[in-house]
Structure 1
Amino acid sequence: MGPADWGDVPTWIGGAGALAAGWFAYQTIKSQREQIGEQQAFIAEQTQFMDDQRQNLELERAGLRAAAEERRVSQARQIKRSFDTWGGHGDDVYGPTGYSAWRVEVRNNSADPVHDVTVKFGESYTPASARENEGFHHPDGGRRSVPVELIPAGHTVVFESPHWEEATVDNNRPVLLFTDAAGVRWRHDSYGKLEEVPADGAS
């Protein structure tokens, strides 16, 4: 048996070159994978950052909208109204009869005036009279035409309905209508619901 054949020098050089090339390719792929991983992590961080920013902007916008809405309805909420019924008896061709009417007190607790103020009773009845609650200070007793053109800050106006039979007065419950200082028309019903009147004026 002779000595082992380890090949010639060119074969060794070729094998070493192939090994080096393989090692270099492996390192290149490894480096590329690390770079891709870093890029993916960076993209994920940026995506999360942008998502956080978007959520923050949405919260800020929601807060601004809520603040704007609060400012929009602030004056309307300060227009206070109270109401009750009062009645008496009169005579007609059939003898003594009972009657009843609504008395609605509207007070402007805001810092600005309100305009075009009236009360609607039932579907279509308008007030029989309106006067300033501080009417004794006025020569005319504080009487005002309806709708009341303006109620200044801190003032109160009392509206009275027509007279009805006591049995039917509740069918004509009062609804307050007014325009705030910003020109928005509001409706406040006898159950406490405050809402903006549509632009077409339906109420």
Structure 2
Amino acid sequence: MVKNLVAVFSTLIGLAGLMLSYAGHRQKVRQEAQEAQEAQETARRAEELRRIERDREQEQEARALREEAREQRERAASARREWERLQASMIGGHIALSPSSLNDNWVVPQVVIHNGSNQPVRDVRVFFQGEVIHELPLVGTGHEYLPQPPAHTQEERYRRQVTVEFTDVAGIRWRRDGYGALQRARQGTEGQEIWEAPETPVIESALRPSDLTDAGHQMQHAPARMPETPPQGPPTGPLSGPSAPPAPSAPYGGGAPAGGGGAPARRHVGLLRLAVVLVSLALIAGGVWSLIHH
């Protein structure tokens, strides 16, 4: 009777050991699956950070290229406008006063149109105190003298009451007053001349025609630089450094410690589980054998 109880008790203990071993195996499988899922999530987040960093670097590179292109266009436009007003800056008019031979209190004024460029200007109109006093189809290089009626004045202001309108060799219409202000005209919607804001005359220009050609050629034919693809690996740049958030090694606080420190513990647990299974099987076999033979 005692042997039978011992056999039954041994069989129950063996079955309990097998059940515990099976439950431990299930727990291990679930833990490994969770760790694999967490590792995949970590890799996905790291890849997402790398993608965001690549997109940010490419956007910064594209923004820099757009800014460089805009600056090139502005420099080329500024150089072209300076070149366009180069000849106009050499055209002007003023009144020269000569003493009258008939009366010491009177002067003989002359409107002097000077063209310091090496090209003529056309469709010249000369204004004095807002009224047209002369119209010339063409004014060559040098000076053009236009006599005026005698006047009873010596004021400097009188000498500057001359405005000259002309069209340069590029076909641009200009206006230059006695004080040196330079304006260009543009065509309005109804064909009338609209004078733009005054521009600074070119006193001394270092520009050459080839400068404008080279600037336009560089803008039109320069190969566009494509953003370089950053090397694959941990993100660098704005997201790196002391202020960057550390890359998560194990989301939600899980995962195995780095460096493989959990490998010996897992190996010991596996050996212990195998020993429990073998002992359980031995107890079950012994119990069954005892029940059969008694």
TM-score (norm 2): 0.52
Of the three residues 101, 110, 121, the one matched with 1:114 is 121
Moved more, 96-105 or 26-35: 96-105
Quick one: which amino acid aligns to residue 62 of structure 1? E
CA displacement, residues 155-178 of structure 1 (integer Å, 9 cap, x when unaligned): 321123333332889468111221
Runs of 4+ in 1 over 6 A off after TM superposition: none
Of the three residues 29, 44, 50, the one matched with 1:17 is 29
CA displacement, residues 43-99 of structure 1 (integer Å, 9 cap, x when unaligned): 110011011001101101101111111122111112254543234376xxxxx7944
The CA deviation at 1:109 is 2.3
What secondary structure is seen at the aligned counterpart in 1 of 2:131? coil
The CA RMSD over aligned residues, in Å, is 2.8
Quick one: which amino acid aligns to residue 160 of structure 1? P
Distance 1:197-1:102 versus aligned 2 partners, 3 A rule: farther
The CA deviation at 1:188 is 0.9
The corresponding residue for 2:165 is: 177
What secondary structure is seen at the aligned counterpart in 1 of 2:100? strand
The total of aligned residue pairs comes to 175
What secondary structure is seen at the aligned counterpart in 2 of 1:197? strand
CA distance in 2, matches of 1:191, 1:124: 17
Equivalences for residues 1-203 of structure 1 within 5 A: 7-88=19-100, 98-126=105-133, 146-152=134-140, 154-166=141-153, 170=157, 173-199=161-187, 200-201=192-193
Quick one: which amino acid aligns to residue 161 of structure 2? R
The corresponding residue for 1:130 is: none
Quick one: which amino acid aligns to residue 57 of structure 2? E
CA distance in 1, matches of 2:94, 2:162: 10
Using CA pairs under 8 Å that are at least 6 residues apart, name the structure with larger relative contact order, 1 or 2: 2
> Contact 1:100–1:169 at 8 Å: present in 2 too?
no
Q: Greater CA radius of gyration, 1 or 2?
A: 2
What secondary structure is seen at the aligned counterpart in 2 of 1:191? coil
Whichever structure has more strand as a proportion of its residues is: 1
CA distance in 2, matches of 1:68, 1:109: 20
CA distance in 2, matches of 1:202, 1:44: 46
Gap regions ≥5 residues in structure 1:
91-95, 127-145
The corresponding residue for 1:139 is: none
> Contact 2:92–2:177 at 8 Å: present in 1 too?
no
Distance 1:86-1:193 versus aligned 2 partners, 3 A rule: same
Whichever structure has more helix as a proportion of its residues is: 2
CA distance in 2, matches of 1:161, 1:33: 87
The CA deviation at 1:23 is 0.6
